[in-house]
Structure 1
Amino acid sequence: MSTKIISLDKQRRLKELKRQESVIKGYLSKLKQEELQYEANYIMNKVNEDELSEEFLLRGALLMDELAKRMDANKMANTINLFSQNLRKRLDDKFLQ
């Protein structure tokens, strides 16, 4: 007979993440398109860092889901152009240092 041991700490963390997911979804659904894109740029700039919290990863995934729901081809092109401009600005800033 095998038994399955469930970590109570793991279950608490999972329950808290589910609660946070609901709160984050509500927050994201109320954002204007520009605000959502600003948040997405922040996430994309931070995503390559080594130490990312579970909350950051959850927020990023939910934000990208919300953004994908709202996007059409024209909005996607605008978002890509904005991201390109941000990258060029960062490159220019490096040259000016």
Structure 2
Amino acid sequence: MSRFFAVLFAVLLGSAAARAEWPIPTADGTIWQYVLTREGEDRPGTLTRQVFGPKDPAQQNALRIETAVNGAIHSTEFLKNPMARPRLLIRR
């Protein structure tokens, strides 16, 4: 029985590695909102993270994620997925 689970685990791990997708939701426009509480402040704030997809189809393995605190942009992160396969873009 343990051999069965070992084989099943190997198959699942192999299929997950073969897909090489992002570990988080990455659709363009995806938004996460969190309640931000800081020590010494009376009212909680809002922390918002938004995903922006690439404008260039050749850059499908890169994402821009903006973090805003109470509506003001705090930081911008550029994430690259090194496991993603480059997609062939054919223009006619």
Whether TM exceeds 0.5 here: the answer is no
- Name which structure has the greater RCO, CA cutoff 8 Å, separation 6+: 1
TM-score (norm 1): 0.24
* Rg comparison, structure with higher value: 2
